[in-house]
Amino acid sequence: MFEAIAFYLFAALTIIMFTITVMTSQALYALTAMAAGMIFISAFFFILGADFLGAIQIIVYTGAVMAIYAFGMMFFDTTRNVIEKRSNPQFVVVLGGLAAVLVVFIVLAPIVTTNLNANYPIDLAVGNTQAIGMVLFTKYLVPFELAAVMLLVAMIAGIVLAGKKMDKSLTLMAEEDIALMHASSATEITQEEAY
């Protein structure tokens, strides 16, 4: 009973948060709503007994990803409304809805379940984190290391890409210089296009 209440509560909250994320025209609202949604999702993980995953969800998403987004948004003008040209909004909703209905249909339809044996059965005697560690560092060791390298690469890439011209601080520069810089980069582009 408690599980059901928790599920429906968090389901409703998540859906609302994400709907806001998708629908709002304020970038800041969207960011905030998404961060909230992420945290609510970690609740499901806890309900499902995947404690480690829940913790990771909060740390990585809310801690790291959202922080990156927040920093990233500092580059953009976030105070203004996001102006977007909408084309066929109904179409988009219908399409998304249709996809959802179909998947739901597939999910609800009786799935032929023929003796799926668990490769790595959950052992209730061992704690979730410990068990995860066991699996992760035995069977999934290579993917794990690869993921680690990938993260490192991504980190360096992020720094290199975003860090271009970091020697020039946009906040300290005069307005004219920024305009000038933009203009020169614009000509660069037109030159590139000319090629």
Partner 1 sequence: MEVYLYIALFAPLVGSLFAALFGAAPKTYLTGIAASGLLFTSFVSSAILLNYVLAGHTVHVEMMTWIAAGDLYIPFGFVVDQVSVTMMMVVSVVSTVVHVYSIGYMAHDKGFNRFFSYLSAFVFSMMVLVMSDNFLGLFIGWEGVGLCSWLLIGFWYHKESATWAANEAFIMNRIADLAMLIGIFMLYWNLGSLQYDVVFANIATLPMHIITWIGIFLFIGAMGKSAQFPLHTWLADAMEGPTPVSALIHAATMVTAGVYLVVRANPIYGLIPEVGIVIASLGAFVALFAASMALVNRDMKRIIAYSTLSQLGYMFVAAGLGAYWVALFHLMAHAFFKALLFLGAGNVMHAMHDELDPFKMGGLKKSMKWTWILMTLASVALAGIYPLAGFFSKDLILEVAFVEHHYVLYTVLLLTAGLTAFYSFRLVALIFHGNERHLEHGIHPHEAYTFMLYAMAPLGVLAVIAGMAFKTPYYLMVTHLLPAMTYHIHNHTTFWIMTIGTQLFVIAAITYAYKKYAKAVKVDKKVESGLLYQLLYNQYFIPKIYDEVFSKPYLKLSKLAWKEIDLKIVDATVDGIANIIYQTGEKTHTMQDGNLSSMLRWMVIGLVVLLVLAVAFTAGYNAVNLQAM
Partner 2 sequence: MEITLTHYLVLSTVLFAIGLIGVMRRKNLLMLFFATEILLNAVNIGMAAISHFRGDYTGQMFAFFIIAIAASEVAVGLGLLIVWYKRTGKIDLDQMTSMRG
Enumerate binding residues for partner 1 (CB under 8 A).
Answer: 91-92, 95-96, 98-99, 102-103, 105-106, 109
Q: Give min distance, CB of 95 to partner 1, in A.
A: 5
Q: Which residues contact 132 (CB under 8 A, 6 or more apart)?
A: 52, 53
For residue 172, state whether it binds partner 2 (rule: CB under 8 A).
no
Using CB under 8 A as the binding rule, whether residue 190 contacts partner 2 is answered as: no
Which residues touch 37 (CB under 8 Å, ≥6 apart)? 13, 14, 17, 18, 21
- Give the Å distances, CA to CA, from 37 to 17, 41, 103: 5, 6, 22
Q: Shortest distance, CB of residue 19 to partner 1, whole angstroms?
A: 18
Buried-exposed string 75-101: b where 16+ CB fall within 10 A, e elsewhere: eeebeeeeeeeeeeeeeeeeeeeeeee
Q: In angstroms, what is the minimal distance from the CB of 106 to partner 1?
A: 6
Kindly state whether residue 137 participates in binding partner 2, applying the rule CB under 8 A: no
115 interface partner picked from partner 2, partner 1, none, CB below 5 to 8 A per type: none
Select the binding partner of residue 159 from partner 2, partner 1, none (C-beta < 5 to 8 A, by kind). partner 2
What is the dihedral angle through the alpha carbons of 81, 85, 89, 95, rounded to the nearest 10 degrees?
A: -110
The residue type found at 3 is: E
1-30 residues near partner 2, rule: CB under 8 A: 1, 3-4, 7, 11, 14-15, 18-19, 21-22, 27, 30
Binding mask 97-136 for partner 2 (x = CB under 8 A): x-xx--xx--xx-------x-xxxxx--------xx--xx
Indicate whether 61 belongs to the interface with partner 2 (CB under 8 A): yes
Q: Which residue has the tokens 């084309």?
A: 87
Q: Is 72 in the site for partner 2 (CB under 8 A)?
A: yes
User: Greatest CA span in the chain, whole angstroms?
Assistant: 70
